[in-house]
Amino acid sequence: MKKLNGSQMISEALKHEGVSVVFGYPGGAALNIYDETYKQNYFTHILTRHEQAAVHAADGYARATGKVGVAFVTSGPGFTNAVTGLATAYADSIPLVLISGQVALPLIGTDAFQEIDAVGISRPCVKHNFLVKTVDELPLVLKQAFYIARSGRPGPVHIDIPKDVTAAIGEFKYPDEIKMQTYKPNTKGHPNQIKKACEAIAKSKKPIVYIGGGAVSSNSSDEIRKFISKTKIPAVETLMALGVLRSDDELNLGMVGMHGSYAANMALSEADLIICFGARFDDRVTGKLSEFGKNAKVIHVDIDPSSIGKIVNAEFPIVGDLKNVMIELNNKIDLDPANFASWRDQIKIYENLHPLCFKDSDDVLKPQWVVQNIANIVGDDAIIATDVGQHQMWVAQFYPFNHPRQLLTSGGLGTMGFGLPSAMGAAFGSDKPVIAVSGDGGFLMNVQELMTLSANKKRVINIVLNNNFLGMVRQWQTFFYGGRYSNTDLELQPDFVKVCEGFGGIGFSVETKDEFKKALQTALKSDTVSVIEVKIDRFENVLPMVPAGAAIYNMILE
């Protein structure tokens, strides 16, 4: 058994966990960790330009690869800057480990320089956290952190390590396996519950499959596609599930919820059986709860027992890993798909009545056209990251997602500033083209990460849909606040081309379709970061739209 100091233990643990990249920003309380980072050759450390971006990058890396993302920060403001990243990952169940430096143990509670109660702050927005008080407990804590982050319902884990613990020497033995008496996720669905679910599906007349982000984190896409193909039951996807089914699957009704398709919302409203795979009945999907699925029974499959029955009662709850449950469902389901033919015909009427569409123009670029043509130019395998706002919904509606882990977006917390750094994280985990679509508001929140990309010679193409507004807030002000545009006008903007060039990248500003196509093709051939500012119709709205508190069948369509 070898003796190592605490910082060496961290590096060794990351080696054992197969970590190849860490995002971070150093500071006084983390200097021992960074000194060992300098000496080791197990992983590459990416110096971001802000701690929030470091955690978002680790998040984006995790979403794109399915691996645990890792970030380092220092104490005090270094940690508080990272909190939004933790909360974003927690809301979307993303596996992530954040290691923060802390003042030395004797200084805790003395209001020392850059001291803050980090574990107290992180507690509501992580799956678990640790304050490490002795070097001897550090190997087990590190092992537990990675296990907790990736198992069950994934999520971020925070480890706060005082500076004297990172310097202390102890015996290093990294556990091969982990057993936690108070944490034992149930991965196998109960056979009797699966049997009852199969019987309920066979008896139903108007079933709908409702797919959530758990289908992505559990790597269940193939099994769900098999289930849909076998049963011919129509399906809807949440924002977090886009790509689980192919966009061109005739049984895929598209995104459901506040900005979901008319057919998806109507089908979910009129179903007599909702088959929920890894979703949590978020308010953006359910709308007015008393009107949601009021004629439907519910099958709810989820790894997290606390999610089942939390919002909507489930007559057929199944706790287990979705992939395992799907395998059993596919083996046991026995029905005639023709039983649902009239239901599929009814849904086809909804699809034809109000398809997703927009009025194109030769005078001004429409954002929907831009999104469609990103897909036409970059190909089927590109990773698309978005910020939060109107552009996010246009991407969700009009980009043809055909693969899981293809869309990186902040769904639960809705974090502006997420797009660029999450795309950066994906670029360090994948060789696929990475496109970040942002609005002119959110893009500026972490614009400094253009420098990180430039310094590391990473090509991420940033497409900024510029309507000189905080667009989604402006849309709400249009519909619900009498057109009183309070503090949403961004008429005064920087020169986005010069901003990117100042960070060492290349920039374009476009106003026509030909200009956009040429700019994107040029950016794809480049070997550096780029920004394409696209000047779009200022007052274009995201439709359909379900007003807050309304039933999801009550949509604003025009």
Domain annotation covers residue 242: yes
Confidence of residue 547 (pLDDT cuts 50, 70, 90): very high
State which of 172, 206, 224 marks the end of a domain.
172
Whether 556 maps to a domain, the answer reads no
Kindly indicate the confidence band of residue 184, based on its pLDDT and cuts at 50, 70 and 90.
confident
Residues sharing a CB contact under 8 Å with residue 481, sequence separation 6 or more, in sequence order: none
CATH number of the domain enclosing 239: 3.40.50.1220
| CB neighbours of residue 134 within 10 Å | 13
Exposure string of 338-372, with b = 16+ CB inside 10 Å and e = fewer, is ebbeebbebbeebbeebebebeeeeeebbbbbbbb
Mean pLDDT score, 346-352: 98
Which candidate, 243, 406, 219, places its Cα nearest to that of 321? 219
**CATH at 36:** 3.40.50.970
Report the C-alpha gap between 327 and 549 in whole angstroms: 37
Based on the fold, state whether residues 282 and 343 are members of the same structural domain.
Answer: yes
Which are the contacts of 55, defined by CB distance < 8 A and separation ≥ 6? 23, 71, 73, 82, 84, 85, 86, 88, 89, 96, 98
Please tell me whether residues 527 and 456 are part of one structural domain: yes
Same-domain pairing of 423 and 338: no
Residues 145 and 33 in one domain: yes
Does some domain include residue 233?
Answer: yes
The reported pLDDT for the residue numbered 84 is 99
> HSE of 429 in the Cβ direction (CA atoms, 13 Å)?
29
Q: Amino acid letter at 81?
A: N
Q: Tell me how many domains the chain contains.
A: 3
State residue 103's pLDDT score.
Answer: 98
Residue 557 lies in a domain: no
Q: What is the pLDDT of residues 384-415, one digit of tens each?
A: 999 999 999 999 999 999 999 999 999 999 99
Is the same domain home to 321 and 450? no
Instruction: Give pLDDT, residue 262.
Output: 98
184: in domain: no
276 and 386 together in one domain: no
Flag whether 130 is in a domain. yes
Q: Are residues 305 and 423 in the same domain?
A: no
- Each residue of 6-45: pLDDT tens digit? 999 999 999 999 999 999 999 999 999 999 999 999 999 9
- Residue finishing a domain among 108, 139, 172: 172
- Cα separations (Å) of 336 from 305, 326, 443? 31, 19, 50
Domain span at 277: 191-353
Residues 23 and 96 in one domain: yes
Q: Is pLDDT of 1 > 80?
A: no
Does residue 471 lie in a domain region?
yes
Residues serving a catalytic function are 51, 113-114, 163, 472
**What is the share, in percent, of the chain residues with pLDDT greater than 70?**
100
Say if residue 167 is in the same domain as residue 217: no
- Do 23 and 159 fall within a single domain? yes
Confidence of residue 181 (pLDDT cuts 50, 70, 90): confident
Nearest Cα neighbor of 86 from 117, 113, 121 is 121
The answer to whether residue 120 is domain-embedded is yes
Determine the average pLDDT of the residues in 270-281: 98
What is the Cα–Cα distance from 109 to 8, expressed in whole angstroms? 27
CA distance 8 to 16: 12
Do both 98 and 215 map to the same domain? Answer: no
- Both 393 and 462 in one domain: the answer is yes
